[in-house]
Structure 1
C-alpha cells in the first residue's frame, strides 16, 4: 500500500506540473505599439566663431550669408504613395467577407423561394461573422444559432422578375455593435473553459480508474493467494479498457 500511495502522489505531482507549465506558456500581451514612426530632428545652428554683422533694413545683426532676398514658387511635392488600385474581380460565386463595422447589410443570392432566399442569406451571414471574428476566434468554431439570430435586426425579401418566373433575394440588416461582438467572444471563451475542464476531469477520471484497478487487483490477488493471478489481470485490464472507452465517448 505504501508503493501505491507513492505512485498516487507522483501522478498528482505530474498533473500539477502540467497545469503550471500550461499557464506559464500562455502568450504574453504584445507590447504597445505607437502609431507612426518616431523622428529625430537635429537643430543646426551657425558656428559660434562667426560674428554677426549689421544688415541694411534689419533692426538686428545677422550672420553673413544667411540673408535671402529672392524666393521661387514651386509646385507641391507629389505623394510617394502608390495610387489606389481597384481589386481584381474574382469568382462571383464566392462572397467576399464584408467588414461588419462598415457595412451592416448582408445580401443573399437569388433563390427560387422565399425560404431558400432567407436560408442562403443566413449562410452568407455565417461566413461573414466568421471573417469578422477571425482575429479573436478560430474559424473552426461556429457561433451558436441564438447568437446569430440576435445579430439580425430585420430581414427583407425582394422579388426578382425573370422571363421564366419570379425569384427572390433576401437582405439582412445586422446589428454589428461592439456589444454583440463581445457577446460572441464571451460565449466562445466560456465554451473553451468548459471544454478544458471536461478534458481535465476526464484525464483525472482515467487516472483514478487505473489506480483503482491496480489497488483492486492487488487486494484480490492477496486474498486468493495468487491462484487467480492471470484472471485478475485480465479483469483489471478489461475494466480499465472499458472505462477508457466510456470516458472517450463522453469527451467526444
Structure 2
C-alpha cells in the first residue's frame, strides 16, 4: 500500500494538509484499520516527519468524523456499520440523482466535456492499480460535476458523506479487478449527460451509487 511509508518532504505550511490527505487515503484503502488506535508519534515515524503536523492532521480527521481521540494513546479509526452505509447511500441518492438530471438539462456542453480527462483518469488509475490516483480523480470528478449545479453547500455535503462512507478494503477490491467496472461508469455517465439524456443519466448515477454501496459491503481482507 505505502500511503504511510513515505517522506512527504513538503513545506511546513502545506505539510498538515498533505499528511491529512495521505491519512484519508490510508483509511479508505484499509491500511489504517477501523477500531484500531494509532499514535501521532508512530505515524510520524512512518512519514519520516515530526509528530506535530501529524497530530494536527489527525485533529482535522476527527472533525470530519473519520477518527476519534483516545486520551493518552492517540486516535481510533471510527467504525462504520452497514446501517450507516445504507443511510449515507440513501442521502446521496436523494441529493445526487435529481441534481444530475438538472445539470444534464442545463449545463454547458464545454463544461461537461472538460470533465472527460478526469473520467478517463479514473479508469486509467483503476487499470494501473493506482489507488491514490483513483481516489483523487474519483473525488474530483463527482464534486466538480455537482458543482456545475451552482450549489456549493450541496457539494460540501456530498464531499462530507464521501469521507464518512469511505471504501473499506479498496486494496482487496483492486486485487480482484472489481474497481474497473465502477470506474468505467463515470465515462458512461458523462456520455449520457453530453447526449442530453437526463433520464438515462439519473439511472446511471443511481446504478453507480448502488454499485459503490455493494463494494462497501465486500470484505477487504479476503
- Give the TM-score, by structure 2 length: 0.26
Q: Where is the strand percentage greater, Structure 1 or Structure 2?
A: 1
Higher relative contact order (CA 8 A, sep 6+): 2
> Max radius of gyration: which structure?
1
